[in-house]
Amino acid sequence: MRGLRLDFKDSGKVSINFRTSIDDFDSTIQNAVVNVVTEKNSDSTYSKRGTSLKKDLLSGGMLTNNMYHICNFSAADTTTFTNVTSTSLEKIATLRLVPSIESDTLVIKVHSESSEGTTSSLTWSI
């Protein structure tokens, strides 16, 4: 799998880097991160795309320890969706979303490992 690189900024914004492409597991995990923050049922082509992460966190989930459970459910849904729809032979074996609140900002650390042992991680402030 190959795609354009998304640059995740500390401000929570995402920009498309038209000069840099990514491939293999980096592309797969980038697609997974996009799926995590895509609203569930918002894609008419793929009805299983997206999670309820944003809705659940904004409905009080950030104020409790439930944010860990919310992130775990979103990671599980995303792993299933990504592995089913990806054309890559290298699938997601583990996807962990570790949330925290830092200076009034939601920070999600994304850790992943592929079926081939490739690891990837990124931190995204929202």
pLDDT tens, position by position, 82-103: 999 888 888 999 999 999 888 8
Quote the CA–CA distance of 126 and 124 in Å, as a whole number: 6
pLDDT for res 61:
66
Average pLDDT, the chain: 86
Asked if pLDDT for residue 115 goes beyond 90, the answer is: yes
What is 2-125's CATH topology? Answer: Nuclear Transport Factor 2; Chain: A, (3.10.450)
| pTM of the shown model | 0.83
> 85 in helix, strand or coil?
helix
Quote the CA–CA distance of 110 and 75 in Å, as a whole number: 9
